[in-house]
């Protein structure tokens, strides 16, 4: 089995009030005081992290340097780099993952782009687990970055986008979490509907309903119940989304990791690593408990609906 042996993330210290971000939205209806109050009450996002000094390349470079400063890992033992942030892959004609590979001496690493809006990191964990279990990989580095959204475009209907970056190292070495299983289910109905010029009905409630069914099916496949899961770790998208999963899974809100929802904003693929890292800091070590990392990706350029989940044992 593969293990998560290191995680880290960068969150800018420059924090902007959610109210100020909404007031600058390109959507006029978002700028009304009543809507602003309602949105913040529902989403519970209060501060949005906005980077003003570092580039995306510099954020990731800082994290990779920290990795080698804190872990005894030979760069040549990293056999794959999984990069999950297609929209931030190129910066000033520099392909960020290739620059990182060359700068830090990952001579034996093959770079693979894993892209699915917001939940690519979960897919990358599943891919890394399969490669490591097959013996085709020793250590795999997963890198994600969310950066550069114009302030007036940070409102994304369901959430507010922030800036940040993350790294996750997986391998056979003993780690904080052992991956027990991964599952991904794609739904191309939206793409087919667009192609065939048919109407398509979807919203956050329907996605949460289907997501709840997916989680229950995934746990059943692993002979596990929600009662046995210590925490369900979702994206930092919206507190309202947490409440939907509480309802459809019939669980207590305490079952969901909500630590980061109020500060930072939604960081796309960075969210899961941020939450994994902070969960690991807050949990009681040495207790073998189960955790489920889950996220649903939605329709965007080059993507469609998808549901991803990873079940791990905390060590």
* pLDDT tens digits, one per residue of 7-53: 999 999 999 999 999 999 999 999 999 999 999 999 999 999 999 99
CA 313 to chain centre: 19
Out of 3.30.470.10, 3.30.450.40, 3.90.1150.10, 3.40.47.10, select the CATH number for domain 177-314.
3.40.47.10
* Range(s) of the chain covered by CATH 3.40.47.10: 3-171, 177-314
User: How many Cβ atoms sit within 10 Å of the Cβ of residue 169?
Assistant: 22
Query: Does residue 302 surpass a pLDDT of 60?
Result: no
Distance CA 12, CA 310 (A): 28
Q: What tokens does 75 get? A: 């760069």
According to CATH, the superfamily of the domain at 3-171 is Thiolase/Chalcone synthase (3.40.47.10)
Quickly count helices (H) and strands (E) in the chain. Answer: 9, 14
Alpha helices in 202-269 (DSSP H): 204-221, 239-249
Distance CA 295, CA 236 (A): 10
User: How many Cβ atoms sit within 10 Å of the Cβ of residue 209?
Assistant: 14
Pick from 113-127, 223-237, 238-252: least confident: 113-127
* pLDDT tens digits, one per residue of 170-217: 999 889 999 999 999 998 888 888 899 888 777 788 889 999 999 999
* pLDDT tens digits, one per residue of 88-144: 999 999 999 999 999 999 999 999 999 887 899 999 999 999 999 999 999 999 999
User: How many Cβ atoms sit within 10 Å of the Cβ of residue 191?
Assistant: 16
| pTM of the predicted model as reported, rounded to 2 decimal places | 0.95
């Amino acid at each position: 089995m593969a293990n998560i042996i290191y995680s880290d993330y960068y969150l800018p210290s420059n924090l902007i009030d959610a109210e100020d971000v909404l007031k600058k939205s390109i959507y006029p209806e978002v700028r009304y005081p009543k809507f602003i109050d309602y949105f913040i009450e529902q989403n519970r996002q209060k501060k949005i992290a906005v980077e003003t000094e570092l580039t995306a390349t510099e954020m990731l470079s800082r994290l990779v340097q920290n990795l080698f400063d804190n872990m005894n890992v030979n760069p040549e033992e990293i056999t794959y780099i999984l990069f999950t942030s297609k929209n931030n892959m190129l910066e000033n004609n520099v392909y960020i993952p290739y620059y990182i590979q060359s700068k830090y001496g990952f001579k034996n690493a093959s770079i693979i782009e894993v892209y699915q809006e917001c939940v690519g990191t979960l897919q990358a964990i599943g891919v890394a687990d399969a490669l490591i279990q097959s013996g085709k990989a020793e250590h795999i580095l997963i890198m994600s970055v969310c950066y550069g959204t114009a302030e007036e475009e940070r409102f994304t209907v369901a959430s507010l986008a922030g800036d940040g970056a993350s790294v996750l190292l997986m391998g056979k070495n003993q780690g904080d979490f052992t991956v027990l299983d991964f599952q991904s289910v794609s739904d191309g109905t939206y793409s087919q509907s667009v192609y065939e010029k048919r109407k398509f009905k979807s919203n956050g409630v329907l996605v949460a309903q289907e997501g709840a069914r997916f989680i229950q099916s995934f746990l059943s496949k692993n002979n596990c119940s929600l009662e046995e899961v210590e925490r369900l770790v979702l994206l930092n998208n919206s507190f309202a989304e947490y409440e939907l999963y509480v309802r459809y899974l019939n669980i207590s809100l305490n079952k969901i990791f909500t630590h980061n929802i109020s500060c930072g904003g939604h960081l796309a693929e960075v969210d899961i690593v941020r939450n994994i890292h902070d969960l690991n800091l807050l949990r009681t070590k040495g207790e073998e408990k189960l955790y489920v990392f889950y996220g649903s990706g939605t329709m965007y350029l080059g993507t469609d609906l998808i549901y991803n989940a990873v079940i791990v044992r905390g060590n």
